[in-house]
Amino acid sequence: MVGELVPSPVDPVTAGVDFWRRYHEFRRVRQEETRPDEPVRNDADEEAHLKRISPFQAEKYFEVSRGREMLGLLQMSFVEPAAPAYESNQHLCEADVFVRGADRRRGIASSFLPVIVELMEGRGCTTVGGWVEEDAGHGFMKWVGAESKLAEIESRLMFSEIDWPELERWVEEGARRSPDTKLETIIGPVPEDEWEAFGSQLSVMLNTIPFESLDHGKIVVTPETMRDFYNRLEVNREVQHTVLTREPDGTISGITDVTWAPHRSEFIEQRFTGVRPDARGRGLGKWIKAAMLLHLRELYPDTRWIGTGNAGSNAPMLKINRALGFKPYRTGTAYQITRDRLAARLAAG
């Protein structure tokens, strides 16, 4: 029960005001410790975010609290059977655990481990993954026996340092090298009548992302998953911007997209950038990235910086980002551990 320093389940959809009071105070403590230079989403928007139910992904929450104070929180994510990529992803799940700095080394994080195993057994998952950026998290993962599977570099580009004339040259060069290719810019959702074609072509590019040694399934984008994605953006009050290149036959050869949100109006999140394997070597990646930045300068002149993450092994994208002026800001690691190994760790005490 809450107050006994043991995990208690909580459902954000039905949670009362006491939970939200604890949660909001807790997430601000976490933000201050892990990402103090980034803005915090307001309480109403955060509650709407957690209460949203997706047909393709299930979320489970457990807290460890003492009185009016939340000390630790576990969030588990599972792929639902309705997801188009369920078959190749059903054995996987994700766990996010955070414990306040002042309350670590009291067994709070480890108290979530039996919950994770039980949830995995109930869902038939055999592998759980977790994302870590802080030293305490790395230490905990090693203690548990999880393995490092993917290293990612987060980079930031300060708008005040961008060489805008150089970007204009990139755009000119891209158009010159591919005179029959059309550059398109979309603000907001892709038109619904294009979802089928767009989703299938985006899927091809997404499945070329370097995952290093991470156990992962296929990525499948369908009109249904796009509708769910746009619903999430609407709930989060995020605006998506997409720049793409289209070949004469209508095939999309390159895509880059970002999101902007009012609660972080000076910070833009760079999401995916990809070029079809059969269209590489023509400078399309540089073209769409430069065109996107020029587009953002017109719409959001007060932007301070844009952030992006890339696998450490993704040399081509890192090369483009470095040429743009992106600088390494921090690193993160994706860990994974099998259910059997985690259960054995628990049995060993």
Nearest to 291 by CA among 202, 203, 164, 206: 164
Do the Cβ atoms of 76 and 116 come closer than 8 Å?
yes
Region of 59 please: left (phi>0), alpha (psi -120 to 50) or beta: beta
CB-based contact 270:307 (threshold 8 Å): yes
194 and 318 fall within a common domain: yes
Whether 248 is covered by a domain: the verdict is yes
Q: Which of 125, 146, 179 is the last residue of a domain?
A: 125
Could you list the residue range(s) of the whole structural domain that residue 107 is in? 8-125
Q: Within a domain: residue 255?
A: yes
pTM to 2 decimal places: 0.93
Cα angle value 40/45/51 (rounded, 5°): 120
* Residue 291 structure tokens: 């065109």
Quote the tokens at residue 152.
């990612």
The tens digit of pLDDT for each residue in 296-325 reads 999 999 999 999 999 988 988 899 999 999
Give the Cα separation of 339 and 150 in Å (integer): 19
Query: Which domain CATH number covers 226?
Result: 3.40.630.30
Residue 195 lies in a domain: yes
Instruction: Note whether 290 and 309 are within 8 A (CB).
Output: no
Q: pLDDT (tens digit, 9 = 90+) per residue, 55-96?
A: 999 999 999 999 899 999 999 999 999 999 999 999 999 999
pLDDT of residue 4: 63
Q: Per-residue pLDDT tens for 181-220?
A: 999 999 999 999 999 999 999 999 999 999 999 999 999 9
Place of tokens 């992962």: 216
